[in-house]
């Protein structure tokens, strides 16, 4: 029997609520199950904002540490998936801001210092992740949720707590900017 996506989400939400209660009562196996259910989504969100970096793994772990610390406060107003995604976005954006401050502190890299990273960014996916990191944080979050994680526009708006029109506007502007950058790098502009 094929379970429709909405029914599947409802089943997962019920399961998450049960696991949260068990984890609140000290059942670490229940918490481990929650981590396993949501780690792919968290990894996608974090990688979408920070790229495939060592910091991404650290932020991913921090997301679940924060989740564990906040289990008692979780009210269930939103699904656990939405809650965890929000934590992932916030921590990723904070890490992104730290990085930008570090780059300003140390100045631009000299030619050749980043050659290994340039060599590894040869395929389109790597280039997109790299360029995504160059966008402003509000655009990064929208693109990551909508284009990488597959959230609907309404879900993206709910997670980010912004109007649907703002999601659409940011998505359009981010896509336009990414297309321009890729065209320029590929020599089409």
pLDDT in tens, 144-182: 888 878 888 888 888 888 998 999 999 999 888 888 877
Q: What is the predicted pLDDT for the residue at 121?
A: 41
**pLDDT over 50 at 30, yes or no:** yes
pLDDT of residue 40: 93
Amino acid 85: pLDDT? 93
Class of the domain covering 112-189: mainly alpha
Q: In this predicted structure, what is the pLDDT of residue 83?
A: 92
- What is the pLDDT at residue 159? 87
Options 1.10.10.10, 3.40.50.10490, 1.10.1740.10, 3.90.700.10; CATH for 1-108 is 1.10.1740.10
Predicted pLDDT at 107 = 40
Please tell me the distance from the alpha carbon of residue 15 to that of residue 5, in angstroms, as a whole number.
15
Question: Domain extents for the chain?
Answer: 1-108, 112-189
Which structure tokens are listed for 65?
Answer: 């540490």
pLDDT at 114 over 60: no
**CA count, 13 A, side-chain hemisphere, 10:** 5
For the segment 177-189, what is each residue's pLDDT rounded down to a tens digit? 888 877 777 665 5
CB neighbours of residue 26 within 10 Å: 8
| Sign of the CA dihedral with 143 first, then 145, 149, and 151 last | negative
**What's the pLDDT score for residue 103?**
43
């Amino acid at each position: 029997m094929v379970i429709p996506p909405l029914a599947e989400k409802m089943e997962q939400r019920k399961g998450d609520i049960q696991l949260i209660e068990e984890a609140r009562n000290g059942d670490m196996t229940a918490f481990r199950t929650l981590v396993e259910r949501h780690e792919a989504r968290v990894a996608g969100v974090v990688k979408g904002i920070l790229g495939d970096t060592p910091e991404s793994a650290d932020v991913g772990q921090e997301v679940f540490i924060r989740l564990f610390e906040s289990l008692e406060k979780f009210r269930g107003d939103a699904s656990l998936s939405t809650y965890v995604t929000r934590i992932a976005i916030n921590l990723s954006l904070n890490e992104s801001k730290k990085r930008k401050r570090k780059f300003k502190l140390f100045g631009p890299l000299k030619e050749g210092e980043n050659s290994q990273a340039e060599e590894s960014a040869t395929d389109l996916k790597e280039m997109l992740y790299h360029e995504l990191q160059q966008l402003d944080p509000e655009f990064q979050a929208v693109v990551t949720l909508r284009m990488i994680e597959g959230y609907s526009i309404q879900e993206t708006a709910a997670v980010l707590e912004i109007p649907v029109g703002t999601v659409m506007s940011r998505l359009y502007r981010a896509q336009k900017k990414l297309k321009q950058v890729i065209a320029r790098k590929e020599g089409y502009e």
